[in-house]
Amino acid sequence: MILLRGIGRLVSPPGPRGKLSVLIFHRVRPRFDSRIPRALHAEEFDRLLGWVKGSFNVLPPDEAVERLRHGDLPTRAMAITFDDGYADNAEVALPILLRHGLSAAFFIATDFLDGGAMWNDAIAAAVRECESDELDLAELDLGVHRLDSPGARRAVIARLLSRVKYLPRMQREETVSAIRERCRVRATPELMMRSEQVRALRAAGMTVGGHTCSHPILASISLSEARREIEDGKARLEAILGERVKLFAYPNGKPGKDYTDEHVRLVRQAGFEGAFSTGWGVSGAGADLFQLPRFTPWDRSPNGFVFRLIRNLVQPGVVRA
């Protein structure tokens, strides 16, 4: 780790030449789940934070954006973020973050608060729980799929999510409902935070940020709809917290594909002070504060994990204003 810190200081010195790495997570499950072997769980997250804390200077995300703006980042600066608003962020991830003395930002899609589930989780749960070894979705133009092994089910979930993700919202909801009906699954999993958990995150010193209302792919809806999604999601969070929400994360977040310059303008006009994409890379001098990249390696060893982060520090392609 000492060698890695030295390398990191060379490629990410303090001050105006500093670079900000930002990690992105979604869920942290309480324990390993053999049905989803690569899913992040508490023990793994705890170990990962130990690696990060030993090699990087982790800042609260709102402070990191401000210090990037003013050109006074520390060497090897890093911030931690979570997208969507899963309840396990508050129940599992928060205690681990606090134990390590670290802070993070949680970007929340507000329509799913207080007992909801996102469309992708509804599909995944339906396929995992389907009692048949075959799933016929030909009438939906989604093919016929074998479900005769855990690996086959994971592959089907991945294929369906990639097909359904970019559908218009109403068509997406109808498709999800039809998939669940064909899987003969009725109950919707309740995976998202409750409003009191959002307040608990903030009370614990975490940052809460906007992530729209219903998590649409912004580039797939009209600009007027996108404006409502961005502004109404911000207003809902501010009503819950009783304070201004300053940061935003683009749903799905691929620059130029999931959002455009027009959506960046809408986020600025909504009163946010910074926003995050899911493009890889780091942010340095001249970075567009409304298109900050994020990256999380999934190596299982500390050296592999940190070396990949160091490699990301020197990767070109940072989105700039």
Segment 126-159, tens digit of pLDDT: 999 999 999 999 999 999 999 999 999 999 999 9
* Residues in a beta bridge with 20: 77, 283
Tokens of 98: 């606090």
Intra-chain end-to-end CA distance of the chain, in Å: 34
Which is higher by pLDDT, 2 or 63?
Answer: 63
Same domain? For 202 and 169 the reply is: no
- Tokens 């567009």 label which residue? 288
Residue 164 has pLDDT above 60, yes or no: yes
Residue 187 has pLDDT above 80, yes or no: no
Q: If residue 79 lies in a helix (H) or strand (E), which one and from where to where?
A: strand 77-84
Looking at 141, 156, 182, which one is the last position of a domain?
182
Residue 303 in any domain: the answer is yes
Residue 321 in any domain: the answer is no
Average pLDDT over residues 69-94: 96
Name the 3-class secondary structure at 312.
helix
Same domain? For 51 and 97 the reply is: yes
Q: How confident is the model at residue 6 (pLDDT cuts 50, 70, 90)?
A: low
| Overall number of domains in the chain | 2
Spatial contact of 44 and 252, defined as CB atoms under 8 Å apart: no
Residue 12 has pLDDT above 80, yes or no: no
Q: If residue 135 lies in a helix (H) or strand (E), which one and from where to where?
A: strand 134-136
Same domain? For 212 and 301 the reply is: yes
Segment 101-115, tens digit of pLDDT: 999 999 999 999 998
Rounded Cα–Cα distance for residues 23 and 278 (Å): 10
Tokens of 26: 């979604």
For 69, 119, 220, 311, the CA distances from 106, given in Å and listed in that order, are 21, 19, 24, 26
Please name the residue ranges forming H helices in the chain. Answer: 2-11, 42-55, 61-70, 87-88, 94-100, 119-129, 150-164, 169-182, 195-203, 223-241, 261-269, 302-313
Q: How confident is the model at residue 317 (pLDDT cuts 50, 70, 90)?
A: very low
Residue 319 in any domain: the answer is no
Burial 243-279 (b: 16+ CB within 10 A, else e): eebbbbbbbbbebeebbeeebbebbeebebbbbbbbb
Q: What is the pLDDT of residue 36?
A: 84
Q: How confident is the model at residue 55 (pLDDT cuts 50, 70, 90)?
A: confident
Nearest CA to 124 out of 20, 36, 16, 199 is that of 36
Q: What average pLDDT does the chain have?
A: 91
Q: What is the pLDDT of residue 321?
A: 43
Angle at 234 between CA 122 and CA 264, to 5 degrees: 95
Looking at 182, 217, 232, which one is the last position of a domain?
182
Same domain? For 201 and 127 the reply is: no
Same domain? For 13 and 101 the reply is: yes
Same domain? For 106 and 127 the reply is: no
Residue 187 in any domain: the answer is no
Q: What is the pLDDT of residue 33?
A: 87
Same domain? For 204 and 98 the reply is: yes
Same domain? For 107 and 161 the reply is: no
Q: What is the pLDDT of residue 301?
A: 84
Residue 231 has pLDDT above 70, yes or no: yes
Residue 189 in any domain: the answer is no
Same domain? For 148 and 224 the reply is: no
Same domain? For 275 and 228 the reply is: yes
Which is higher by pLDDT, 35 or 206?
Answer: 206
Same domain? For 297 and 278 the reply is: yes
Segment 232-291, tens digit of pLDDT: 999 999 999 999 999 999 999 999 999 999 999 999 999 999 999 999 889 988 899 999
Q: What is the pLDDT of residue 81?
A: 98
Residue 318 in any domain: the answer is no
Average pLDDT over residues 165-181: 91
Q: What is the pLDDT of residue 314?
A: 74
The domain that holds 71 is classified in CATH as 3.20.20.370
Name the 3-class secondary structure at 183.
coil
Residue 320 has pLDDT above 80, yes or no: no
Residue 161 has pLDDT above 50, yes or no: yes
Nearest CA to 229 out of 213, 240, 211 is that of 213
Residue 260 in any domain: the answer is yes
Q: Which residues fall within 8 angstroms of residue 98, CB to CB, at 6 or more apart?
A: 204
Q: What is the pLDDT of residue 3?
A: 46
For 8, 72, 161, 306, the CA distances from 63, given in Å and listed in that order, are 20, 11, 35, 23
Residue 124 belongs to what domain range?
119-182
Residue 49 in any domain: the answer is yes
Which is higher by pLDDT, 16 or 298?
Answer: 298
For 36, 150, 267, the CA distances from 33, given in Å and listed in that order, are 5, 12, 37
Average pLDDT over residues 208-223: 96
Same domain? For 96 and 237 the reply is: yes
Tokens of 316: 């070109």
Rounded Cα–Cα distance for residues 258 and 109 (Å): 16
Spatial contact of 119 and 58, defined as CB atoms under 8 Å apart: no
Angle at 283 between CA 81 and CA 2, to 5 degrees: 80
Tokens of 14: 């303090």
Q: How confident is the model at residue 26 (pLDDT cuts 50, 70, 90)?
A: very high
Looking at 182, 207, 229, which one is the last position of a domain?
182
Q: What is the pLDDT of residue 169?
A: 83
Q: What is the pLDDT of residue 10?
A: 53
Segment 303-314, tens digit of pLDDT: 888 788 878 877
